[in-house]
Structure 1
Amino acid sequence: MKHKIFILILIASVLVLSSFTHKYNFYQEPKKVSQDTLNKNVTIADSLGLISNLTLTLHKKNAHASYYHNKFNGRRTASGTKFDNTKYTAAHRKFPFGTKLKVTNEANNKSVIVIVTDRGPFSKGREIDLTRQAFMDIAANKNAGNLKVTIEVIK
């Protein structure tokens, strides 16, 4: 009788312990990283020089621009692209995604070219949200949170 109980306990413990085992896959596919096809050495001045033969259509003067908070880094934008505060993108309520805009600071006449990838800003009185990189490139005062800008559409 003791022998049968011992065998039953042994079988039950083997079944219980075998349910906790996990087959580990030692070979894992390496993650594929797509390379960015954009040359990182192209400067803003070069890109502004490239648009000299393109037409610029004035959209708005004295528009208020602000910049994204860092908490949005890595999140998806309304267009589906991943947001990166170091790139030259913008949010606008009405322009179609992919529209290129020339945004010029009216105080110092510095300008950047951005691509619309998101919707916003949703603060009253703001016309456009720029990435932090684009905002700091044209800002005269790096501590400011908003600027008066001129927005032109590149065609």
Structure 2
Amino acid sequence: MNPRPVVLVIALWLIAWNIFAAPSNESLPAQRDEAAHAPVLIASVSFNALARQQIAHPFPSLGAASWYGEDHRGRLMANGKKFNPDRFTAASWFYPLGTRVRVTLQTAGQPARSVRVTITDRGPAHELVREGRIIDLARAPFKRLAPPDLGLVPVKLEIIE
């Protein structure tokens, strides 16, 4: 027996089934309010404009900061550039790449110190994020906040641009 007619019959049956068994527009729920269901164009508004307007955002602003340094020098970051621990950069899962944030040390009894960094990489490791770590700073900005031997410090993050 020649398998071609069998394959052809099965193919035609599948095509017909897909055409006639597809749900009609009548089975879809009617839209009650077209404005409520209209697509929202987000790309026309830049993230920087939203930050400048102080619009509330879902990103965490309080948590722990750590640092990473020489052992990562020269490795590619998420933005495609090589890491340099002497630059004021940071890694975060919560903020878009290129976002500038102010990182302020949150220790009682000490003068408030802050640095401005650009988010250029992704991190910290997911298990560390679950423990409250929200940002990994390059060595240089961390040194402006606290001695590197502390390892972790409590911080507050604010979007600046």
Whether these two folds match at TM > 0.5 is yes
Return the offset for 1:63. Answer: 0.8
Letter in 2 for 1:114: V
**Residue 76 of structure 1: aligned partner:** 76
Structure 1 or 2: more helix by fraction? 2
**Residue 156 of structure 2: aligned partner:** 150
Letter in 1 for 2:141: A
TM-score calculated relative to the size of structure 2: 0.57
**RMSD in angstroms over aligned alpha carbons?**
2.0
Work out the CA distance in 2 between the residues paired with 1:133 and 1:121.
Answer: 17
Return the offset for 1:55. Answer: 6.6
After superposition, the Cα gap between the structure-2 partners of 1:72 and 1:142, relative to the gap in structure 1 and judged at 3 Å, is: closer
TM-score calculated relative to the size of structure 1: 0.59
Work out the CA distance in 2 between the residues paired with 1:120 and 1:87.
Answer: 17
Structure 1 residue runs without a partner (length 5+):
1-53
Note if contact 2:78-2:121 (Cα within 8 Å) is conserved in structure 1. Answer: yes
Note if contact 1:57-1:154 (Cα within 8 Å) is conserved in structure 2. Answer: no
Work out the CA distance in 2 between the residues paired with 1:138 and 1:117.
Answer: 19
Work out the CA distance in 1 between the residues paired with 2:55 and 2:86.
Answer: 26
Work out the CA distance in 1 between the residues paired with 2:114 and 2:75.
Answer: 26
Establish whether residue 138 from structure 1 lines up as the match of residue 142 from structure 2.
Answer: no
**Residue 45 of structure 2: aligned partner:** none
Secondary structure of the corresponding residue to residue 144 of structure 2: helix
Identity across aligned pairs (percent)?
A: 36
Mapping for residues 1-155 of structure 1, pairs under 5 Å: 60-107=60-107, 108=110, 109-122=112-125, 123-124=128-129, 125=131, 126-139=133-146, 141-155=147-161
Higher radius of gyration, 1 or 2: 1
Work out the CA distance in 1 between the residues paired with 2:79 and 2:143.
Answer: 24
Structure 2 residue runs without a partner (length 5+):
1-51
Work out the CA distance in 1 between the residues paired with 2:89 and 2:101.
Answer: 9
Work out the CA distance in 2 between the residues paired with 1:104 and 1:128.
Answer: 12
Secondary structure of the corresponding residue to residue 104 of structure 2: strand
Work out the CA distance in 2 between the residues paired with 1:154 and 1:84.
Answer: 22
Work out the CA distance in 1 between the residues paired with 2:140 and 2:54.
Answer: 23
After superposition, the Cα gap between the structure-2 partners of 1:65 and 1:83, relative to the gap in structure 1 and judged at 3 Å, is: same
Secondary structure of the corresponding residue to residue 81 of structure 2: coil
Work out the CA distance in 1 between the residues paired with 2:158 and 2:55.
Answer: 5
For 1:54-106, what per-residue CA distance to the aligned partner results, in whole angstroms no more than 9, with x for missing partners?
67678545410000142100111011011000000000002111100000001
Work out the CA distance in 2 between the residues paired with 1:74 and 1:56.
Answer: 35
